[in-house]
Structures are given as C-alpha cells and as structure tokens.
Amino acid sequence: MRSDKDNLIIRLTFEFSLRVIAYTETLEQQRKYNLANQLFRSGTSIGANVHEAQNAESKLDFIHKIKIAAKEADETRYWLDLCAAAPTYTTPELELFEYIDSIAKVLSKIISSSKSR
C-alpha cells in the first residue's frame, strides 16, 4: 500500500480541494450555481488527477496525468480570477490564490523533473 502522508502535492491538492468546496458552497448560497459548479469540478479534479498519477502504469502515464492536473489548475485559476473580477460575486480568499499558485509551481516542477529522468 502506498503512503501519501509525506507527499507535498497530495497534501496541497487535498487542502486546496477542501477550501474550494467551502468557497463554492458560499457561491451556491448566493445562487451562483454555474460558476460554483465549474470551479468545484476543476478545483477538486486537480487532486483527483494527482492521486491517480500515484498509480500510473508507466513514467509516461504519470507525466500525462500530472499534465492533466496542471491543466485543471490553470482552469481553476481562471475561474478564481473571474470570481474576483465579477462585481456581484464574493471575492475568493487570498489563500485560494496562494494555494493554486503553489500547486501550479509544484506540478510544473514535477513535470520537468520527470521528463529529465
């Protein structure tokens, strides 16, 4: 059985997903269902893809799954930026932006170091 306890990206994406859930619940209370759904799906799928990558069948499969997570992180950043810019939306906490930026950097580093091995 694998141990994800000390895995930085697993921890970051899990904690980020919990924060996305909380923020999207706020959006849903404000009846902002469309954007809440988009943000929920992309924000929580980052961690799901990272988790799936832990059981990759090959190095190429691992890289592919991490790249999907990176794309989801980019999409999530877009939705957060959109929420922040929309005048009728509750602005996301700064912590969400810090998390997604950290996640994007770690994913990028994982991709580049995995390719060079």
Q: What is the pLDDT of residues 64-74, one digit of tens each?
A: 999 999 999 99
Model confidence band, residue 116 (pLDDT cutoffs 50, 70, 90): confident
Token pair in block for residue 26: 């706020």
> Is-contact 12 99, C-beta < 8 A?
yes
Is residue 1 in some structural domain? no
How far apart are alpha carbons 14 and 50 in whole angstroms? 10
pLDDT above 50: residue 1? no
Our separate counts of H helices and E strands in the chain read 4, 0
- pLDDT category at 115 given cuts 50, 70, 90 is confident
**Domain count of the fold of the chain:** 1
Residue 107 structural domain: 8-116
Residue 75 is assigned to a structural domain of this protein: yes
In the 3-class helix/strand/coil scheme, how is 56-83 assigned residue by residue? CCCHHHHHHHHHHHHHHHHHHHHHHHHH
Q: Does some domain include residue 2?
A: no
| Cβ–Cβ < 8 Å for 46, 103 | yes
Q: Are 36 and 28 in contact (CB under 8 A)?
A: yes
Looking at residue 5, what is its pLDDT?
Answer: 58
Q: pTM of the full predicted structure?
A: 0.91
The answer to whether residue 91 is domain-embedded is yes
C-alpha distance from residue 1 to each of 4, 5, 39, 54, 55 (Å): 10, 12, 32, 11, 11
